[in-house]
Structure 1
């Protein structure tokens, strides 16, 4: 097994919410520079398009092959983004933007980058929005998954339907991001661009970068604080250039929060950047000397360990020449949870590396990591050239995300609790849920959490003023590699004082949650069965009240006694049967037993 080959091309479709609520969540219209950034980063020759949606769906930038004309049209069209939409027609934009994705294309990496601050909202008619949400999850989402699409979602508000967006991303092995405010959009779009489009990058160290003679095009992304001076480039010749320079092979996009600089046929040598250091600055190149590395998943369990392979290729062929590889040094740096770790990547035939000097560098990633977001930066140093590659991975200690939300205030108030499995980690159809609910200070009672979609289990509860209910949840599920697991999700509170919280981030884990440690579930030999065997498309019509879910009543002792007597009688009957069968039945003679075995053998051979 080697590094993962990249698809021949990428097809990126960007969906931007322009509903009226964006006036509050993006008052400075920072969607404009964020959209300009991602459309200018997409390499020429790839496919892309942009759609906006409010009450109606509009193709803002026509889908097609990316070239200089397309990029200019996209740059200008981004300025039309506004916040005038009356509704949030998520169903319409997902359908219209993917009208032609009806079957998978193994040669194309299909990605959707989807930004919204709200919920499915197409009508004021009661029930219409919930039905539209159901159609998306039960019809549109399975179609997109079958077509090989990956959906990356961005929630730009606490009011966004986080459980819904998480399902879109998790089901298609995409990335789910919650933006604290619109000022993060440009950097989030950069992260999702790198997940959607394979690009070659060079390491930028102390604002200096080595450009080798195989580079045909050089693009630098330099972030800056609003009001800061524009960047200045120092060429290997000593010449300085900036956004005012009239250089034929230089294109400079100057925005308030970043500079995007593209240079055709750049001079080989060391380039310098006169600007503030920023970990999100990037140097992207077009070259025939490329790095091919294993794809890291978007989400991993804390204990997971996976192999990681790196190969260099030139003109599409893996480089295996010893004279070349002897000068190549490969490292993988992991950053996150307040620490940085250097991971050696070797081609010496030891450890996970199967064969020395075969051009495949190997290591392992993961293992006993604290929950949180980690960035892996691969650096390949060949003395006369350098390459780099970044991956962002979310590490979780449980394979199911839990969202608690107050849907409607009042007395009683309406609460929802949603479970969304990470499809990269476990098989949703294998999930078995054991949940109990208890009124504060009362006895716990089992409660069923219905399955409301292919990747969602949801419990709706009405809670009277002053009441608080605690839910304890345990999940048994099969990992994608077939391993069984049993997971304690923790304790979750519904009622007075509850806030809208998504329990899949390390700093949002409930304080009283039990440590979650993956362990083998009891192997019964049977296939796992989904918690709710009813049609996944049918959402529950009735909402259980908290009083119904956690009714506090004394047990019926007469019924308990009757059950105990019945069980004992059954056990006595079984024991008597076993005694008659094995101790009172005459045993066959040895010859008869041998004859029986021979007959059995003959039957098996026939």
Structure 2
């Protein structure tokens, strides 16, 4: 195998060779990757450094030679500057030359037409990567334009995305900017089985692109720890992708024997490509031992390997849901054969983690070994929406293997506020939820609202009138029963009138924050009581905050016109109500503390 790896390096000419990726069930299919880049005028502001060109170069570097690829651009028109072809040295050179065409800006954003044209040609396992910074924006004006935009958006969700899914076309979306129609992109990806990634800054674009590429072509990695990584004797070659700042010092790679390698000083069989924001280094038949990286590198840097010993897993769905646990299943194989029983190394440990994009561990678990060679476990339900990564790690005394998969965590139901803010519509996103197994409760400033079912997977909440100058939170809770198990959790808060001049103090978590307030069993365990107490306290604080805001306005008027204003009965009513609310809150908190001290402990149960 080492000889074959070296022969592959020698046979590829005309630039940096492509990697030999791990041969699992997804990567073994010949991928057909079609990259669609938004070139609408708003990209001037959202990607001023044209990092789309760096992302395209990254894809040209990382796509394997067995793949097919094409490049598309769109605004008001759809163009295909790099037609479909085998990913070889010539294709890579042409892809790297397309940077000027990514700044050939157009006026509008026709997402529907771009997807239709790029998906028309037949292919193998087709993956579309759609990068855009906006929303459906078609030529026209006034009400006619608004209706045309809305019709195109609805066609994308209701007809085009399901049609693509039926043809085996997977659409991965990358949202660049805060103004993007994120719901649209997430729904397209979810329907077609792709990953929806968000790059809130141009610098995060490469990370999002890499997460999508790893979904298309997964591979084993060696973890980078304390500025280095350990190469074992079963590694036949490694590919180091090292991210760095544009003005960072030159990066060096130091082998176990102490020999230092740089971009300008390395052996002929070591391939080194330098980009302003990353370096890619390919090393065949590396020395066994500790390799060190000298120079500042980004946390998204990674070392992928070619090895007969591989960590495998079931393909995780790219979309996960708040409040739902994550089952994991992994195994080890050598030359494609699963290792079981005595073939497994002594002391092997397999772990799974859910990590944020900044590297923080949100949940972790050990996977238990079964007699059939599978390692299984369950990660605790995610509590924040947004992009994250599932990391599987297999560790023994002799070697380590790691797998990383990008995921997008979304609420199990969507919430939509109608135009006149009189009604909220909730629709189930999780494929197994319906009005029969899911109960939703809602409260607004301490008042419980009726939640009515409207079809098999939809609920409606009629809202009372809210002062348009006041921003208030709508609190939503779910209770779900599936497979004989019942649990409750809170959904992200929906804020009404988010831009209002008066905000209710201490009342909510913004829906964009992506965090859940609590998760608990529905029975009378301590966790659920604490959550209930917190909600009640939150509602009292919300009411007190609203009264305080009103009292503050009244006090300012009182100071400017003491005589007439002081005689106004509403002023003193507000101050009296505020005093009453604070008194009730103080008494209630004393009651809660006293109740918790004397509460007998119960064992939680389902």
- Match of 2:118? 97
Is 1:360 paired with 2:381?
no
On the 8 A contact 1:427/1:479 being kept in 2, the answer is no
> What's the CA shift string for 1:256-282, capped at 9, x where partnerless?
221122234444443221122532111
Is 1:185 paired with 2:205?
yes
- Match of 2:140? 124
CA distance in 2, matches of 1:517, 1:199: 37
Q: Shift of residue 481 of structure 1?
A: 6.9
Say if 1:517 and 1:217 are closer, same or farther in 2 by CA, change over 3 A: same
Say if 1:231 and 1:121 are closer, same or farther in 2 by CA, change over 3 A: same
Match of 1:85 among 106, 131, 138: 106
> What's the CA shift string for 1:54-99, capped at 9, x where partnerless?
1111223332332333223222224531151121111111111111
Secondary structure, aligned partner of 2:114: helix
CA distance in 2, matches of 1:210, 1:488: 43
CA distance in 1, matches of 2:180, 2:322: 28
Moved more, 20-29 or 33-42: 33-42
Q: Shift of residue 238 of structure 1?
A: 3.2
On the 8 A contact 2:312/2:330 being kept in 1, the answer is yes
Pick the structure with more helix per residue.
2
- Match of 1:201? 221
Secondary structure, aligned partner of 1:120: coil
Q: Shift of residue 385 of structure 1?
A: 3.4
Secondary structure, aligned partner of 1:272: strand
- Match of 1:281? 301
Query: Normalization by structure 1: what TM-score?
Result: 0.67
> What's the CA shift string for 1:286-339, capped at 9, x where partnerless?
333221123334444454334422211122211236155226343334445955
On the 8 A contact 2:439/2:480 being kept in 1, the answer is no
- Match of 2:581? none
- Match of 2:536? none
Correspondence 1:222-371 to 2 at 5 A: 222-245=242-265, 247-320=267-340, 322-326=342-346, 328-336=348-356, 339=361, 343-347=365-369, 353=370, 355=371, 358-367=372-381
Correspondence 1:161-176 to 2 at 5 A: 161-176=181-196
> What's the CA shift string for 1:224-275, capped at 9, x where partnerless?
1220122111133433221113632232221222112223444444322112
CA distance in 2, matches of 1:8, 1:74: 24
CA distance in 2, matches of 1:489, 1:340: 18
Say if 1:488 and 1:245 are closer, same or farther in 2 by CA, change over 3 A: closer
CA distance in 2, matches of 1:303, 1:435: 16
Say if 1:498 and 1:115 are closer, same or farther in 2 by CA, change over 3 A: farther
- Match of 1:65? 86
> What's the CA shift string for 1:499-538, capped at 9, x where partnerless?
9xxxxx9763689998676869xxxxxxxxxxxxxxxxxx
CA distance in 2, matches of 1:92, 1:511: 32
> What's the CA shift string for 1:393-426, capped at 9, x where partnerless?
4556x41244669x9xxxxx99997756434x54
Say if 1:339 and 1:132 are closer, same or farther in 2 by CA, change over 3 A: closer
Match of 2:66 among 45, 50, 65: 45
Match of 1:400 among 413, 436, 444: 413
On the 8 A contact 1:202/1:387 being kept in 2, the answer is yes
Q: Shift of residue 41 of structure 1?
A: 1.5
Secondary structure, aligned partner of 2:97: helix
Say if 1:240 and 1:469 are closer, same or farther in 2 by CA, change over 3 A: closer
Say if 1:228 and 1:309 are closer, same or farther in 2 by CA, change over 3 A: same
In structure 2, stretches of 5+ residues that fail to align are 1-23, 502-507, 524-606
Moved more, 15-24 or 110-119: 110-119
Say if 1:325 and 1:145 are closer, same or farther in 2 by CA, change over 3 A: same
- Match of 1:544? none
CA distance in 2, matches of 1:335, 1:513: 16
Say if 1:366 and 1:513 are closer, same or farther in 2 by CA, change over 3 A: closer
Say if 1:148 and 1:318 are closer, same or farther in 2 by CA, change over 3 A: same
Say if 1:415 and 1:142 are closer, same or farther in 2 by CA, change over 3 A: farther
CA distance in 2, matches of 1:437, 1:206: 49
Say if 1:483 and 1:220 are closer, same or farther in 2 by CA, change over 3 A: same
In structure 1, stretches of 5+ residues that fail to align are 348-352, 408-412, 500-504, 521-606
- Match of 2:7? none
CA distance in 1, matches of 2:466, 2:362: 48
CA distance in 2, matches of 1:458, 1:75: 51
CA distance in 2, matches of 1:173, 1:392: 13
Say if 1:73 and 1:455 are closer, same or farther in 2 by CA, change over 3 A: farther
Secondary structure, aligned partner of 2:54: helix
CA distance in 1, matches of 2:362, 2:467: 48
CA distance in 2, matches of 1:166, 1:455: 18
On the 8 A contact 1:170/1:422 being kept in 2, the answer is no
- Greater Rg over alpha carbons, structure: 1
Secondary structure, aligned partner of 1:204: coil
- Match of 2:170? 150
CA distance in 2, matches of 1:511, 1:241: 43
On the 8 A contact 1:167/1:456 being kept in 2, the answer is no
Q: Shift of residue 5 of structure 1?
A: 4.5
Secondary structure, aligned partner of 2:149: helix
Query: Normalization by structure 2: what TM-score?
Result: 0.67
Task: Give the number of aligned pairs.
Answer: 486
On the 8 A contact 1:163/1:403 being kept in 2, the answer is no
Say if 1:484 and 1:326 are closer, same or farther in 2 by CA, change over 3 A: closer
